[in-house]
Homo-oligomer: A and B are copies of this chain.
Amino acid sequence: MSRSSRDRVVDFRSRRSCADCSLRSVCLPAGLARGELQQLDQFVQARVPLDRGDVIFRAGDPLDYIYVVRTGSVRTVFPGSEGDDQVIGFHLPSELVGLDAISANAHQCDAVALERTSVCALPLGRLERLAAEIPALQRQFHVMISRQISHDHRHLVAVGRRTARERLALFLHALSERLESGGYSGVDFHLSMSREDIANYLGLALETVSRLLTKLAEEGVIRVERRRVRIVDPDALARIAGRPLSQPNDRPPDHSSVH
């Protein structure tokens, strides 16, 4: 378990630069000129791909980097004593990880890869310094932070005032949308997280999640086979999830609308 993929310090440069990255338009480089982009590129560190279970940082670790998920997915967990941890969020490509660390200058939660995952590491100090020079970068950084807050708030609504069934539907619905906006299929996808993770995230028992997934499948809303999920009836799912909790009119100007 100890030295899984860490030893392979092959400088695995699948990511040549931000300019070549498919996330360019939704990630920090959004709106940057070529020269500015190169400045950013200078200190963006691509990490060796992480394997399932690999730890990016742990609660208490000093804050050195803010991370962006490039591919794969990351789970952040607020550690409690005796394994009653709380899953705070799942992070998909283009999402920032570690923002809650800035205030205390140390990470508040653990971040773990849920599958084969690659992340970009950004030294916060340098990022801030460059953001001070490039307004567009500063703007985009703030937008991405705000997106995180918005997302957390929507999740709070889900956990606070919804039934188990609604929470699960909302979870699947939101996941579907996020995957789609990241260029993946929002109809047929793989859950990188376990039932236990989902349950914990939604404030439910894992048995409840399992039961409800089965139920939704019986009703013809989705199809489930292990971690493979297919959304058969998106409208029904949206209906169960409740009225949309917000209008994500958060898209960049050049929207090739997926509707």
Interface residues of A (CB under 8 A from B): 59-60, 78-82, 84, 86, 88, 99-104, 106, 108-109, 128-129, 131-133, 135, 138-139, 142-150, 152-157, 159-161, 200-203, 242-243, 245-250, 253-255, 257
Contacts and interface: CB of A to CB of B under 8 A. Distances in A.
Given A103-B146, A161-B84, A248 B200 contact: no
A157 B254 contact: no
9 contacts: A78-B157, A88-B157, A102-B143, A103-B144, A104-B250, A131-B132, A149-B152, A155-B156, A161-B203
| Interface of A, helix, strand, loop or mixed by DSSP | helix
A147 B131 CA distance: 20
A101 B150 CA distance: 8
**How many protomers of this protein does the assembly include?**
2
B246 A153 contact: no
B249 A153 contact: no
Contact of A161 (B86, B133, B142, B160): B86
A114 to B, nearest CB: 18
Nearest to A109: B153
A103 B156 contact: no
